[in-house]
Amino acid sequence: MSIFVNDRTRVVVQGITGKEGAFHTSQCLAYGTQVVAGVTPGKGGQETQGVPVFNSVRQAVAATGADCSLIFVPPAFAADAILEAADAGVALIVAITEGIPVLDMMRVKRHLATTKTRLIGANCPGIISPGQCKIGIMPGSIHLPGGPVGVVSRSGTLTYEVVHQLTGQGIGQTTCLGIGGDPIVGTDFIDCLRAFEADPETRAIVMVGEIGGSAEEEAAAFIREQVSKPVVGFIAGLTAPPGRRMGHAGAIVSGTNGTAQAKITAMTEAGMHVCRDLTTLGAFCADAFAEVLAC
Amino acid sequence: MKIHEFQTKELLRSFDIPVPDGVMATTPETALQAAGGLGSWPVVVKAQIHAGGRGKGGGIKLAADAAAVREAASQLLSMTLVTPQTGPQGRKVNKILVEAGVSIARELYLCLMVDRAQAAITILASQAGGMDIEEVAATTPEKIIRVAVNPLLGLQPFHCRQVVFGLGLEADTGKACTALLNKLYTMFVACDCELLEINPLAITTSGAMVALDAKAEFDDNALFRHPHILVYRDSDEESPLEAEAARFGLNYINLSGNIGNMVNGAGLAMATMDIIKQAGAEPANFLDVGGGASAEMVENGLRIILGDPKVRGVLINIFGGILRCDILAEGVVQAARKIGITVPVVVRMEGTNVDEGRRILADSGLNLITAADLHDAAVKVAAMVQGEQQ
């Protein structure tokens, strides 16, 4: 099992003929993902990498039964692309695009709340259920199929580091996803934690957070109340100076809000296993998850 | 992006929001001229820097006549202003704002901001105008009125009533406040603000509302659709290395330590800074070359890191994944040769062809130290620091 996506997920790629879209489509196809359609307005009727291209998501969904959209559309047009995919009724949207204006995302998030569509991202690496499908830009090769660990993170390459270390310890993953580094994202930590808790094959969880906002604190409170599985937490940005945006639009300590220390404290108080040293996170997980890994 | 107070007020004026008459000046002579043009005394002379707390640092002066304006202006324009927000090194004052004095009956606090937790534009208001709102929030949170506006609905009359009655305003000022809120909300959305703060918002002795001080911050991601705001960028307020990095599309922040570092991806970059600290050193910077990272990016990044004279060692941490490490290693070697590295550089990379990549680094004859993994990299950074201390 896995969360949100599996080997039956049928993907339409919005922006499939762009440089990034084309490259990562080839990588997803190579991993075995069912990429059934692409959308580039004006290029409908063409075919690329054996995938039919349509002018609109509605046409793509009608012709191919796609139920998930992977978005590589440039930031100025990305909010529109997300809304179009939701309008076409896809169940899941994975938005990779970095740099979408925050007011655009605010409207998108509010609108999606009135639909049944789930959005992952934007500004995220996507989602992978190792051995089943890869819907995003992460390197497939570092993942190990078979579970039992679910990984959720705000970042891209930091997630790869974490997964790489898990795999190095022989610890497999059910699903790994990045929720995105922007201030406003579609799916939050709590949505993922709830799904991991409900997934029988996920028996332990790694949550990777960073400075800024209060999503980690809220997630910690949720874990204390509603998550029975062991959770390892890590927070990046202990040395980040206040008032500066650390690459991610959302990673900023404002006044006393959003510090790494406050998040670590909240996670510790919630009974999570807090790892403070990224260089040994894999071994830390092997230790913290020893009980569930044994069975 | 932050802009100056005089620029914020220019924007406010364009949205018909009342601000005191004022002129920006860069010399005592033009300040004097500006004060004369305002036609009334006293005037206020205010240092223009991208940091708050200017009053506490002595950056705002009242001047009753021409002589006082000249004195205030020459003082401010020769000063490095230290406020609670500038850090101890302070900020050089290059511009001042000369503004007409306002006779104040009452001071309020009003702010619109992006509320990430609620996905809303939230209005904050308080009767405690002129004070640091974080202080008010910490000591008397009940005195802050907080109204979240759903951006799909926009500002509604009931939102305004919550603010007006919350502040205990009289009928006439209440009307003025509602009109003001509507204009501020329009500007906030039209300009893609992240923050629009009026503190203090003055109610004058004649009952009018005037934005005495104003601060605006804009969403960097939205600047592409606001060229008229982009021209407000003041490179004097940025560190030269940061400005150069921005030209190459690199995310660079200069810090006080001496171990430079270059990483692909913001989250891993923050974590790498933390690792440097745990290894017993202090990071000299934050540098995210982007999730993909290319040889060219690495070259530009290395040049910027080494442009900081504090740097005594460098850690390059690239989790390529799909990226080919041999190509990356070639890039690092070429960059190191071209720039001429003078300090040890620890390189940790992960991706395809990693062994070939490491061989290229080892065979280069340069001071490039390869690290097998992140843990090994931390150990080698610690060794670098200890070598420095001996």
The residue among B179, B202, B237 that closes a domain is B237
How deeply is B118 buried, as exposed, middle or buried, from its count of CB atoms within 10 A (0-12, 13-18, 19+)? middle
The C-alpha of A12 sits at a distance from chain B's nearest C-alpha, in angstroms, of 22
A chain contacts of residue B264, beta-carbon cutoff 8 Å: 157
Complete DSSP assignment for A157-196:
HHHHHHHHHHHHTT-EEEEEEE--SSSS-SS-HHHHHHHH
Q: Provide the CATH number for the domain around residue B134.
A: 3.30.470.20
pLDDT for A113 beyond 90: yes
What is the Cα B297 distance to its own chain's centre? 24
Same domain, B85 and B221: no
| Cross-chain Cβ contact A243/B288 below 8 Å | no
For residue B355, pLDDT beyond 60: yes
Domain end call among B101, B120, B140: B101
Which residue does chain B place closest to A248, by CA atoms? B266
Pairing, β A34-39 against β A10-14? parallel
Percent of chain B past pLDDT 90, that is, above it, reads 66
User: In terms of domains, do B55 and B126 share one?
Assistant: no
Which among A141, A160, A183 has CB closest to B319?
A160
Residue A168 has a pLDDT of: 96
Same domain, B275 and B372: yes
CATH of the domain at B33: 3.30.1490.20
User: B14 with B136, same domain?
Assistant: yes
User: Contact, A273 vs A280, CB < 8 A?
Assistant: no
**pLDDT tens profile A121-169:** 999 999 999 999 999 999 999 999 998 999 999 999 999 999 999 999 9
Q: Residue B123 in contact with residue B163, Cβ under 8 Å?
A: yes
pLDDT tens digits, B319-335: 876 677 888 888 889 88
Max distance between CA atoms of chain B, in angstroms, equals 80
Q: Specify whether B249 is located in the same domain as B335.
A: yes
Give B166-197 pLDDT, tens digit per residue.
999 988 899 999 999 999 999 999 999 999 99
* Confidence category of residue B291, pLDDT binned at 50, 70, 90: low
Q: Are residues B124 and B188 in the same domain?
A: yes
Q: A208 contacts in B (CB within 8 Å)?
A: 267
Q: Give the contacts of A220 (CB within 8 A, at least 6 positions apart).
A: A233, A263, A266, A267, A269, A270, A272
The total number of structural domains that make up chain B: 3
CB contacts < 8 A, A to B, total: 175
Q: How far is CA A116 from CA A86, A89, A113, A175, in A?
A: 8, 8, 8, 21
Residue B57 sits in the same domain as residue B183: no
- Among B83-87, B104-108, B233-237, the range scoring the smallest mean pLDDT is B83-87
Give the C-alpha separation, B4 to A282, whole Å.
Answer: 47
Q: Given a cut of 90, is residue A195 above it in pLDDT?
A: yes
SS3 content of chain B, % helix, strand, coil (to 5): 40, 25, 30
Position A162 scores a pLDDT of 97
* A94/chain B closest Cα distance in angstroms: 17
> Does residue B246 sit in the same domain as residue B150?
no
Residues of A in contact with B136 (CB under 8 A): none
Is B109 annotated in the active site? Answer: yes
**Domain end position, chosen among B219, B237, B255:** B237
For an interface test with A, the pick among B239, B277, B316, B319 (most A C-beta atoms closer than 10 Å) comes out as B319
Angle between helices B374-389 and B266-278 (to 10 degrees): 50
The CATH number linked to B350 is 3.40.50.261
- Give the residue numbers spanning the domain of B117: 1-20+103-237
Among A277, A212, A279, A217, smallest CA distance to A241 is for A212
Q: Are residues B159 and B175 located together in one domain of the fold?
A: yes
pLDDT at B141: 81
Is the model's pLDDT at B292 over the cut of 70?
no
- Residues B171 and B159 grouped into a single domain: yes
Tokens of A164: 């790489």
Are B32 and B76 members of one domain? yes
Question: Which pLDDT score, from 0 to 100, does residue B321 have?
Answer: 67
Whether residues B33 and B5 share a domain: the answer is no
Assess A19–B contact: CB distance below 8 Å, yes or no.
no
Which residues from chain B sit within 8 angstroms of residue A143, using beta carbons? none
Q: pLDDT category, A253, cuts 50, 70, 90?
A: confident
pTM above 0.80, yes or no: yes
Q: Which of A241-250, B9-18, B305-314 has the lowest mean pLDDT?
A: A241-250
